[in-house]
A and B are shown apart, each in its own frame.
Chain A
Amino acid sequence: MMYQEHILDLYKHPHNTGRLKGATHSHRGHNPLCGDDISIELIVDGEKRVKDVKFHGNGCALCIASASLITDAVKGKHIDTVLRLKKDDVLGMMKIPVSHVRLKCVLLPLEAVQKTIINSRGISSTE
Chain B
Amino acid sequence: MKLTNDRAAELKEDFPIFRRKIHNQPLCYLDNAASTQKPQAVINAIKDFYEHSYANIHRGVYQLSQEATEQYEDAHDAVGKLIGAGENEIAFTRNATEAINLLSHTIKPLVEGSTILLTEMEHHANLVPWQQLAKKEGMKLSFIRMREDFTLDYGDAEQKLADDCAILSVSHISNALGTINDVKRLVGLAKKNGALAIVDAAQSAPHGAINVKEIGCDFMAFSGHKMLGPTGIGALYGRHELLEQMEPFQTGGDMISSVTYESAQWNDVPQKFEAGTPHIAGGIGLAKAAEYLQNIGPESISAWEKELLKHTLESISSALEKGDIRLFNPGHKHSAGILSLNLAGIHAHDLASLMDDMGICIRGGHHCAMPLMNKLGVAGTARASFYLYNTTDDADRFVAGLKKAKEMFN
Q: Does A85 contact B (CB under 8 A)?
A: no
**Interface set of B (CB-CB < 8 Å, partner A):** 346-347, 349-350, 353-354, 356-357, 365-366, 370, 378-380, 408-409
Considering the chains assembled together, what is the distance between the CA atoms of A1 and B354 in angstroms? Answer: 8
A102 touching B349 by the CB < 8 A rule? yes
B347 touching A35 by the CB < 8 A rule? yes
B380 touching A8 by the CB < 8 A rule? no
**Interface set of A (CB-CB < 8 Å, partner B):** 1-3, 8, 11-12, 32-36, 58-62, 99, 102, 105
Chain B residues whose C-beta falls within 8 Å of the C-beta of A60 in the assembled complex: 347, 349-350
Q: 15 other contacts beyond A3-B354, A32-B370, A35-B380, with CB at 8 A cut-off?
A: A2-B353, A2-B357, A8-B408, A33-B365, A34-B347, A34-B349, A34-B365, A34-B379, A35-B366, A35-B378, A35-B379, A60-B347, A62-B350, A99-B353, A105-B349
> Can you identify 6 A-B contacts, CB atoms within 8 angstroms?
A2-B357, A34-B365, A35-B378, A61-B409, A102-B349, A105-B349
Considering the chains assembled together, what is the distance between the CA atoms of A8 and B345 in angstroms? Answer: 12
Closest A residue to B410 by CB, please name it. A12
Closest A residue to B349 by CB, please name it. A60
B408 touching A3 by the CB < 8 A rule? yes
Interface contacts (Cβ under 8 Å), in number, total 41
B347 touching A61 by the CB < 8 A rule? yes
Considering the chains assembled together, what is the distance between the CA atoms of A77 and B45 in angstroms? Answer: 62
B353 touching A3 by the CB < 8 A rule? yes
Closest B residue to A7 by CB, please name it. B350
B350 touching A61 by the CB < 8 A rule? yes
A3 touching B357 by the CB < 8 A rule? yes
Closest B residue to A37 by CB, please name it. B379
Distance between A98 CB and nearest chain B CB, rounded to angstroms = 10
Considering the chains assembled together, what is the distance between the CA atoms of A41 and B345 in angstroms? Answer: 24
Question: Nearest 10 CB-CB pairs, A to B?
Answer: A35-B379, A60-B347, A61-B350, A60-B350, A60-B349, A34-B349, A2-B353, A3-B354, A35-B380, A1-B357
Considering the chains assembled together, what is the distance between the CA atoms of A89 and B366 in angstroms? Answer: 30
Considering the chains assembled together, what is the distance between the CA atoms of A11 and B346 in angstroms? Answer: 10
Chain A residues whose C-beta falls within 8 Å of the C-beta of B354 in the assembled complex: 3
